[in-house]
């Protein structure tokens, strides 16, 4: 259909995406290309549920990742997928992107974890060469389901890449099924990562009843919090958790559509964005898994604006603040802020005089 002025405003708004899982960001168009390459997998039937983009339980979302993992198992797949995802974010007006993914090995295609990360870095470099208008960095994900030993190996891998990737690998993400493996067991690996200079983005209080774990992880402290859905007292968190987050001004990555569709939040208007935003706490809007949840960052900004009554200036400030919350090194942050300043007049055009 026709683009409304609102759509144009949100797409042209320069944005920074700080919480995007690579495999969950794979679009329907890319999925179709992958399926065409792998007719033997017979995956068509799984796709109907995916394309309808309806609400999914957290469990169903993890199921969908299994399908994506089946489809993405070689270097050429990872290269294509990463380049597609980067291009799609750029098309949506994202100027700075931190992608995250768990290093995977595939025995049948001879893919190693090192090669997996190298291929993503290669895709980021190729996108830059193709002059896609976006700055991309990478966070290495630790999947808690794999336990503390693998976590430590992953941290060592991330350290190597932090030193060898020309600044493309900036940090570590802790994610994966929150019901599996206590975060406490991950502490040695996370502390090591912190000490080596890797930034930490940790999924925290994604489900209820994680108060003790959240206390422990907040003591590190992380550089950013993913979701933080159940930190505040009204939803079973605690004042002491909120105090820790506020005192240390730890930015929170907030993913509206993701939380509503995977049903950790009952409805958009009940989203905890409001709780933190009203406190003046640094909040960053993110997509989480734009493919799985059929969204993009423009849509997330538009949703937040309409649900929480944010005017164009407030929306701009939210987007600008995300740059400050990024793991980008200071010179890049300054460069991005100049970029935002240049774009401001054309994005926030004053309304014509009556």
- Output the six-digit token pair for 82: 């990463």
- Residue ranges of the alpha helices (H) in the chain? 5-12, 28-37, 44-52, 58-71, 75-91, 113-129, 147-164, 187-195, 211-218, 239-247, 256-261, 273-278, 297-307, 312-325, 330-347
Q: Is 159 a catalytic residue?
A: no
Determine the distance from the C-alpha atom of residue 78 to the mean position of all C-alpha atoms in its chain, rounded to a whole number.
Answer: 18
Helix or strand (DSSP H, E) at 34: helix 28-37
How does strand 169-175 pair with strand 135-143?
parallel
Q: Which of 17, 106, 206, 253 is catalytic?
A: 206
Task: Output the CA–CA distances (angstroms, integers) from residue 256 to 29, 96, 304, 350, 354, in the order listed.
Answer: 23, 20, 8, 29, 36
Altogether, the residues listed in the chain come to a count of 354
User: Which two tokens mark 278?
Assistant: 């009203």
* Residues labelled as active-site residues: 206
């Amino acid at each position: 259909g026709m683009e409304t002025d609102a759509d144009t405003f949100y797409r042209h708004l320069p944005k920074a995406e700080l919480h995007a899982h690579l495999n969950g960001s794979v679009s329907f168009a890319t999925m179709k290309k992958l399926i065409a390459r792998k007719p033997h997998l017979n995956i068509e039937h799984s796709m109907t549920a995916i394309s309808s983009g309806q609400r999914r339980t957290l469990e169903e979302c993890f199921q969908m990742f299994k399908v994506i993992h089946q489809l993405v198992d070689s270097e050429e797949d990872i290269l294509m997928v990463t380049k597609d995802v980067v291009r799609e974010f750029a098309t949506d007006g994202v100027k700075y992107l931190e992608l995250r993914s768990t290093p995977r090995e595939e025995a049948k295609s001879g893919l190693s974890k090192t090669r997996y990360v190298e291929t993503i870095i290669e895709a980021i470099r190729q996108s830059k060469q193709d002059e896609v208008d976006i700055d991309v960095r990478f966070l290495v994900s630790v999947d808690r389901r794999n336990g503390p030993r693998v976590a430590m190996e992953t941290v060592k891998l991330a350290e190597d890449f932090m030193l060898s990737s020309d600044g493309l690998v900036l940090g570590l993400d802790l994610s994966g099924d929150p019901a599996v493996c206590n975060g406490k067991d991950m502490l040695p690996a996370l502390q090591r990562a912190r000490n080596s200079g890797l930034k930490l983005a940790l999924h925290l209080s994604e489900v209820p009843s994680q108060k003790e774990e959240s206390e422990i992880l907040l003591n590190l402290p992380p550089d950013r919090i993913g979701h933080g859905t159940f930190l505040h007292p009204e939803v079973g968190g605690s004042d002491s958790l909120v105090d820790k987050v506020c005192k240390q001004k730890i930015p929170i990555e907030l993913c509206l559509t993701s939380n509503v569709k995977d049903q950790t939040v009952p409805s958009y208007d009940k989203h905890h964005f409001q709780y933190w935003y009203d406190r003046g706490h640094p909040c960053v809007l993110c997509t989480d898994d734009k493919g799985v949840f059929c969204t993009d960052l423009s849509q997330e900004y538009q949703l937040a604006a309409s649900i929480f009554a944010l005017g164009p200036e407030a929306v701009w400030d939210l987007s600008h603040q995300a740059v400050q919350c990024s793991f980008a090194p200071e010179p890049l942050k300054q460069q991005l802020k100049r970029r935002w300043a240049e774009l401001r007049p054309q994005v926030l055009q004053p309304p014509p005089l009556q």
